[in-house]
């Protein structure tokens, strides 16, 4: 049997709309790392002006740690759909998916080394290799594996907080290396492309440390497993049939997620509440956003309004890499040199404006082409020599 990529008629608009929104959320978070000396500072203690603090806290509650779980679940959903399609056609899913993940890994490494150190594609590809080992299991087992893997991390850290007495301790500002921060500001702010490249390697050593790879397996992989379980239940395709389920989930997860994420600002920033904000409140709010968007997509006029965002979601890889290239040109010295020159409101406005431009770009692109440029390249590399396999 021939194994072909998903055709235009087979695409689920709601999934593309969700991808589009997740790209916006990821951009609103990632932009900090383009004009501030991350990952060497704690944003919770970095800002001194009231407007910056308020805007950062708002983004921290509504955006931070809630959109990469959403994109991870969508990644798992998509891979499970491909797995089920391969079973129906009798195709070799594992050979196809492994090849695709290797290509994504290579693109991620190029992105990380030559464009931006905060790349997430490498982590997704890494976790994807583990995900394909689980896809033969049913939805119930996939959810069980997800909760067990993530639960082990939760028990470990919450146990440490409880045993050490840190649970109710106020978070202390992290010790910072002034020289490291100054090096980043110099390299990106006034340095050449070579200076930025050398600094990028240093930042990458933090982003791709062993701890980060382990953390990805305990967080990103479980979110992928949840997405895969949802795909096997066809929860998105059956959204109208399950509208009561999605409505209840919207109310519960939005309320619970926003409460947990707001807790450090309502009750004091303790180590326990800070941890729960990121690793419990974040993914719960992600599910709330997913449910809310699916509920909105059930209204025909809203679905039509959101159609342009679906176009951006259809070329998510291209949009993601494009964001890094454009932001590097805007902020680094070899471009417009705005590194360290903008405040949080301005940075947020730049992110929103960039996303609007990208949505317009996607709308125009799909008037002439059926796929984004990077999506086309990945498809060609992936399906080459596979289309005739039995």
Phi, psi of 350 (to 5 degrees): -60, -45
Q: What is the pLDDT along the chain (390 residues), one digit of tens a residue?
A: 344 555 444 468 999 999 999 999 999 999 999 999 988 888 888 899 999 999 999 999 999 999 999 999 999 999 999 999 999 988 889 998 999 999 999 999 999 999 999 999 999 999 999 999 999 999 999 999 999 999 999 999 999 988 888 888 888 777 777 888 999 999 999 999 999 999 999 999 988 999 999 999 999 999 999 999 999 999 999 999 999 999 999 999 999 999 999 999 999 889 999 999 999 999 999 999 999 999 999 999 999 999 999 999 999 999 999 999 999 999 999 999 999 999 999 999 999 999 999 999 999 999 999 999 999 999 999 887 554 443
Smallest Cα–Cα separation from 60: which of 266, 279, 261?
261
Peptide bond into 39 cis (omega under 30): yes
Which two tokens mark 71? 């994109």
Within 10 Å of residue 351's Cβ, how many Cβ atoms? 23
Report whether 152 contacts 141 (CB < 8 A).
Answer: no
**Helix ranges restricted to H, 233-305:** 243-267, 271-276, 282-297, 300-305
Within 10 Å of residue 205's Cβ, how many Cβ atoms? 11
Residue 289's Cβ-count burial label (10 Å; 0-12, 13-18, 19+) is buried
């Amino acid at each position: 049997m021939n194994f072909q990529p998903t055709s235009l008629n087979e695409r689920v608009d709601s999934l593309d709309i969700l991808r589009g929104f997740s790209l916006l959320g990821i951009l609103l978070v990632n932009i900090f790392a383009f004009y501030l000396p991350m990952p060497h500072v704690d944003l919770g203690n970095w800002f001194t002006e009231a407007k910056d603090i308020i805007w950062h806290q708002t983004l921290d509650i509504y955006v931070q740690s809630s959109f990469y779980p959403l994109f991870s679940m969508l990644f798992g959903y998509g891979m499970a759909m491909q797995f089920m399609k391969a079973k129906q056609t009798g195709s070799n899913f594992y050979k196809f998916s492994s090849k695709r993940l290797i290509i994504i890994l290579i693109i991620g490494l190029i992105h990380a080394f030559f464009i931006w150190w905060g790349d997430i594609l490498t982590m997704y590809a890494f976790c994807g290799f583990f995900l394909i080992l689980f896809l033969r299991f049913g939805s119930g087992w996939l959810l069980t594996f997800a909760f067990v893997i993530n639960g082990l991390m939760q028990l470990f850290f919450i146990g440490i907080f409880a045993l050490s007495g840190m649970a109710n301790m106020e978070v202390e500002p992290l010790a910072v290396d002034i020289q490291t921060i100054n090096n980043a500001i110099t390299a990106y702010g006034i340095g050449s492309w070579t200076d930025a490249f050398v600094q990028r390697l240093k930042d990458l050593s933090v982003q791709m440390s062993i701890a980060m790879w382990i953390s990805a397996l305990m967080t990103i992989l479980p979110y992928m497993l949840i997405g895969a379980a949802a795909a096997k239940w066809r929860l998105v395709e059956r959204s109208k049939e399950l509208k009561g389920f999605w409505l209840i989930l919207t109310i519960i997860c939005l309320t619970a997620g926003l409460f947990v994420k707001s807790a450090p600002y309502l009750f004091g920033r303790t180590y326990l509440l800070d941890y729960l904000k990121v690793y419990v409140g974040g993914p719960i709010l992600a599910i709330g956003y997913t449910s809310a968007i699916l509920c909105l997509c059930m209204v025909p006029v809203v679905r039509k309004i959101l159609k342009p965002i679906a176009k951006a979601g259809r070329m998510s890889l291209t949009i993601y890499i494009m964001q890094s290239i454009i932001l590097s040109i805007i902020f680094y010295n070899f471009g417009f040199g705005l590194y360290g020159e903008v405040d949080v409101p301005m940075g947020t406005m730049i992110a929103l404006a960039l996303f609007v431009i990208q949505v317009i770009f996607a709308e125009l692109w799909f008037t002439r082409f059926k796929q984004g440029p990077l999506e086309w390249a990945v498809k060609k590399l992936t399906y080459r020599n596979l289309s005739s396999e039995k």
